[in-house]
Structure 1
Amino acid sequence: MLRRRTSRDTVSSIIIMKVPTVVLSILCSVHLVSTETHSLSMRATLIYGETPFPEFSLVVLVNDVPVEYYDSDIKKFVSRRHWRVNDTIEEFRFRNFMVEEIYNAMKVPSLFLRRHFNHTEGLHIYQGVAACDLEDNKVNRFFITSAYDREEKYQYDVLTQAQNTLGPEFVWNKIFMEAKKLRCSYVYKPLFEEILRRYLQEDKNILLRKERPRVRVIQKTEPHSGRTQVSCVATGFYPRRINMTLLRDDRPVPDRELTGGEVLPNGDGTYQLRRSLSVSEEELRERHRYTCTVSHLSVDNKLDVNWEPEAPAHTVLISAVLIAVLVLAALIITAIVLCRKRRHTGFKNLCPSVAGVKYAAAQSEYHTCVNVH
């Protein structure tokens, strides 16, 4: 049975989609899959202006899977763990603390930015992403980044305490920064680590599962240019992190020649990835060998799928004509040989008949001569 999509489902989806691309590129950066990494991220959105969406919303994700959603209109968390029956998060410490903490942490700089840009009217959006990675049972990455009206403004690495202000309006004084460092190191970091460990323990059958990717190389003709598009496709894999490389004669194709590369969700909770290369007719005639190679946590070694272009159409046509000519020539030669053989066989069949007649005549004359004498 299809589940009816509620307004909160729509809002949570939009909130995830609205995070600026530059922020997502940091959050979803591809790790080497030789070691297993798990991540917890919180993506918050604060909206100013008239919209059908709540003023403040928060999406919690584990390994890129949405697990909780907070809506300021209903003022409570809603579970996105649909694989659990009667799920509740009443006991989670971040239920009230994290909402209030994140809301206040976003309210102050967003008001400052509105005054700085004189944005007293219209629709304006302030967004924040906090994410940590747990690798080999230890936090190896924890960062916070902020964006205003889809432009990234601030980055802060909690582990190294390095900050990057992408606008002069985000240069904070020393006292404020010292307080922020202490709060991130001694409040946010241990809390995020505890929350992530708890999710991984409670939902390990879902969040820790491994689904092997199905890999193939496909080709199609581009309708406008007539060139051939060669695509490396991997689908049905989980977790999300994956490495994909398209090789030409065992050498990696430069990224500037490729399109695609964004990991997209499937409807069954797995993911897919496609990278494509546009190949000219001249390159097809050179008969390069293309290889799609994929690394994922679900496989011990790389998955390699090879593809070699077929001969161009005119080459196939010429080959077909030559084959037809050769077949026709063979048929003609065979017919000539059979015809000559039949003629030769006919002459031999005729000779015994003539010899027999002569022998009978001679024998008759002999008997006649004997009788006469």
Structure 2
Amino acid sequence: MCAFKMYVVVLLFLFATLSTVDSVEKWSLNYIYTALSKPVELPGIHEFTAMGLMNDKQIDYYDSVSKKKIPKQDWMREKLPADYWDKGTQSRKSKEQWFKVNINILMDRMRHNNTDVHILQWKHGCEIDRQSDGTFKFIKGTDQYSYDGDDFLAFDDANMQWVAPVVQAQPTKRKWDGVQILNQYTKGYLEKECVDWLSKFMAYGGKEVSRASPPRVYAFAKKAKTAGHVRLTCMATGFYPKYVIMQMKKNGVPLTKRDGVQSTGVLPNDDDTYQIRMSVQIPEADKETYECSVNHVALKEPVVVKWDGKCCDCTQVTGVIIGAVVVLVLLLTAVSSMLVLWKKGKIFAGKKGDLPATGIQAPLNGNGNGTAVLNMPGQGSNKSLEREAMLANGGTKDGASSTDSGNVIQKYCQLFYCIFLNADVSSAVPGQGSNERLEREAMLANGVIKDGASSTDSGQGSNASLEERQC
């Protein structure tokens, strides 16, 4: 499992780059395939998953359990016939088998065994710009592979050849470049076929996909690890599309990385919207004016939220200390009083100076109705004992393998896209999850309770050409 840790740093960074608010007339269609070297015991995480994304919004889905390509948008279900989905299902079953063969080839080449989980991903698609006269301008095409979160192979559309960033990918590059007809097909797919499918989908459901959702913005602070400091956080969530501009400002002046500003980048929520957080560490006693400024295509003007100067958990330690002192004083008072009464013979039966029955002595006293009571020190119910044992081992009954699970999930999110759309595992990846949980966290922090032939598989590329691509 140690190998898992090697990949954490690469998680989600493809989607972690901030962009300016882009034109809503830019459109994209991408298909993403993810294959694991072996199954994992995690809900919603499958050995093979495939999905289609239009403007980063999921439009279809397939996995190795259901083995059926299904629509994820109402307009896809309404506009496309049953024959489309049947052929698409067969196409993805074929791709699933291709991935099983090739992930094993790559594992052998990388000298990896099956002890650890390894991941092979493929992403391909196109991006266009719709002109004012209604025509489409091709911007770029994407066809790339990754292995265990690292770039493995990518198609250079301009020069019509494959690029191998790692030595282990060189044999594959030489083999694929040796069949120029396949490279010609790949270029044609990216620049023509993919664009045709995208334009068709735009006509079917463009209005729904392009509907923008504005961000909800929050500013809150929590105690930092450094004594005497707090970490001020700006959070925007629930926005679509993903292009957004966020700034943290001090007295109206934007803060930068030089000031210690950290960003999660733009991450997907589980409802086709996005989120982003920025944070900076500041002195707890800082009385300057801090604010969060967020701009998005769905906003008429930037949203500005000022920090109220409060830290939601800074007083917790102080409160615990005060409470402990109060309890200690009351306990000492009670013990002193009992000691006095005991010395006067007013409490506890038996000779003066005898201690009350405890532990093994307790059964000798009974419970007043003829039944002996065993009060063995440290003994309790099975549930409490199990809980105590699991806590002592640093785990919980339902999450005994939470560390390994979290690492597998994080590896699953490498390079292209976070496959959480059918998985309730949001809590395993830091900073990712549902809008409701994010907003609840922010509100509590502020003290408020409140994806045969090309026509067979909707622009994903023919199975014949894929089968020729043996690694």
- CA displacement 1:65-115 (0-9 Å, x = unmatched): 222112345443022226877785545498268637855775675343223
C-alpha separation in 2, matches of 1:221 and 1:267: 28
Q: Which residue of 2 aligns with 1:150?
A: 149
Q: Which residue of 2 aligns with 1:38?
A: 27
Q: TM-score, with normalisation over the residues of structure 1?
A: 0.63
C-alpha separation in 1, matches of 2:185 and 2:15: 21
Q: Does 1:63 align with 2:55?
A: yes
Q: Does 1:302 align with 2:302?
A: yes
In the TM superposition, 1:227-306 aligns within 5 A as: 227-255=229-257, 257-266=260-269, 269-281=272-284, 284-285=286-287, 287=288, 289-306=289-306
- CA displacement 1:150-196 (0-9 Å, x = unmatched): 33322334356575423111122274374443122112442322332
Secondary structure, aligned partner of 1:76: coil
- CA displacement 1:283-319 (0-9 Å, x = unmatched): x15x2x3342222111244333445858xxxxxxxxx
Q: Does 1:114 align with 2:116?
A: no
Secondary structure, aligned partner of 2:195: helix
Pick the structure with greater CA Rg: 1
Contact kept in structure 2, 1:89 and 1:95, CA below 8 Å:
no
Structure 2 counterpart of 1:33, which letter?
V
Q: CA deviation at 1:55?
A: 4.7
Structure 1 counterpart of 2:28, which letter?
S
Contact kept in structure 2, 1:67 and 1:79, CA below 8 Å:
yes
C-alpha separation in 2, matches of 1:200 and 1:168: 40
Q: Which residue of 1 aligns with 2:126?
A: 132
Q: Which residue of 2 aligns with 1:336?
A: none
Secondary structure, aligned partner of 2:178: helix
Structure 1 counterpart of 2:165, which letter?
L
Change (3 A) 1:255 1:158: farther
Q: CA deviation at 1:34?
A: 3.9
Contact kept in structure 1, 2:218 and 2:305, CA below 8 Å:
yes
Change (3 A) 1:135 1:249: farther
Q: CA deviation at 1:128?
A: 1.4
Contact kept in structure 2, 1:20 and 1:150, CA below 8 Å:
no
Q: TM-score, with normalisation over the residues of structure 2?
A: 0.52
Structure 2 counterpart of 1:151, which letter?
D
Q: Which residue of 2 aligns with 1:99?
A: 92
Change (3 A) 1:57 1:261: closer
Contact kept in structure 2, 1:264 and 1:272, CA below 8 Å:
yes
C-alpha separation in 2, matches of 1:291 and 1:106: 48
In the TM superposition, 1:1-373 aligns within 5 A as: 22=10, 24-26=12-14, 29-36=17-24, 37-51=26-40, 55-81=47-73, 90=82, 92=84, 95=88, 99=92, 106=99, 109-119=102-112, 121-122=114-115, 123-136=117-130, 137-159=136-158, 161=160, 164-171=163-170, 172-173=173-174, 175-176=177-178, 178-222=180-224, 225-255=227-257, 257-266=260-269, 269-281=272-284, 284-285=286-287, 287=288, 289-307=289-307, 309=309
Question: What is the aligned residue count?
Answer: 290
Which consecutive unaligned segments of at least 5 residues does structure 1 have? 1-18, 311-373
Change (3 A) 1:158 1:294: farther
CA RMSD of aligned residues (A): 3.8
Higher RCO by CA contacts (8 Å cutoff, separation 6 or greater): 2
C-alpha separation in 1, matches of 2:15 and 2:126: 9
Change (3 A) 1:75 1:126: same
Contact kept in structure 1, 2:160 and 2:184, CA below 8 Å:
no
Contact kept in structure 2, 1:20 and 1:152, CA below 8 Å:
no
C-alpha separation in 1, matches of 2:244 and 2:304: 14
Secondary structure, aligned partner of 1:304: strand
Change (3 A) 1:90 1:25: farther
Secondary structure, aligned partner of 1:58: strand
Change (3 A) 1:182 1:249: farther
C-alpha separation in 1, matches of 2:221 and 2:113: 52
C-alpha separation in 2, matches of 1:295 and 1:151: 32
Share of identical aligned residues, percent?
22
Change (3 A) 1:150 1:20: farther
- CA displacement 1:251-295 (0-9 Å, x = unmatched): 43223622342434456543332211111146x15x2x3342222
C-alpha separation in 2, matches of 1:305 and 1:101: 51
- CA displacement 1:18-47 (0-9 Å, x = unmatched): x98748533664442241232222111223
Contact kept in structure 2, 1:217 and 1:307, CA below 8 Å:
yes
Q: CA deviation at 1:149?
A: 2.7
Q: CA deviation at 1:125?
A: 2.4
C-alpha separation in 2, matches of 1:167 and 1:297: 39
C-alpha separation in 1, matches of 2:113 and 2:275: 42
Structure 2 counterpart of 1:304, which letter?
V
Secondary structure, aligned partner of 2:29: strand
- CA displacement 1:133-152 (0-9 Å, x = unmatched): 22333231322222223333
Contact kept in structure 1, 2:67 and 2:93, CA below 8 Å:
no
C-alpha separation in 1, matches of 2:189 and 2:76: 29
